[in-house]
Amino acid sequence: MTRIIAGSAGGRRLAVPTGQGTRPTSDRVREAWFAALQARGLLDGAHVLDLYAGSGALGLEAASRGAATVVLVESAKEAVTAIRRNIATLALPGVSVVASTVERFLRPGAPPPARPADLVLLDPPYSVTQQQLHDVLTALAAGAWLAPDAVLVVERGRRSGEPDWPPSLRRHDERRYGETTVWWAQHC
């Protein structure tokens, strides 16, 4: 069972896609992420971009804890259906979903965001290679996607290795939770 951990929608269950390729972040890891984000004052009023959104659990957790806007980007049809159901059920303000691959969403020449992201959450499927992740991070850093000092949080399996950060993203933390590793970086 996946649920919202805390905030205005705390304890509410989320629909989860049943198809292959979606790997939800465990409640334990999500709770640790968001406790750290709140402790750093990064959620209240934030503009959040959740890439590879899956069920939307990460972005919806951010909205429940005070983010002003959340854009969930997901390409899998079943996952987009689950996200739409979750958005309707939770009725959290400022949350939207974009049915697109992350690469297409961030492509050069794509319409710039209404507001650059203060916080970007990335939990790519295991099938996303290090090079593909590097290309996504580079696109984020090169475009108008990130606010000054934006924070990026990347979750990967321990065996995946640390992302190859573009020069304008500086890694400042790494946390391990069993087989999961979470890296924090800041736009500079």
Contacts of 40-44 with C-beta under 8 Å, sequence gap 24+, read: 40/151, 42/118, 42/119, 42/151, 43/67, 43/119
Q: How many CB atoms lie within 10 A of CB 88?
A: 9
Closest CA to 25 of 175, 140, 146: 175
Helix, strand, coil shares, percent, the chain, to 5: 30, 30, 40
Give this prediction's pTM: 0.95
Q: Using pLDDT thresholds of 50, 70 and 90, give the confidence band for residue 1.
A: confident
In the chain the domains, ranked by start, together with CATH numbers, are 27-187 (3.40.50.150)
Listed in sequence order, the residues at least 6 apart from 167 whose beta carbon sits closer than 8 Å to its beta carbon are: none
Q: What is the pLDDT of residues 68-113, one digit of tens each?
A: 999 999 999 999 999 999 999 999 999 999 999 999 999 988 887 8
For the chain, percent of residues with pLDDT exceeding 90: 78
Q: What is the pLDDT of residues 107-131, one digit of tens each?
A: 988 887 889 999 999 999 988 999 9
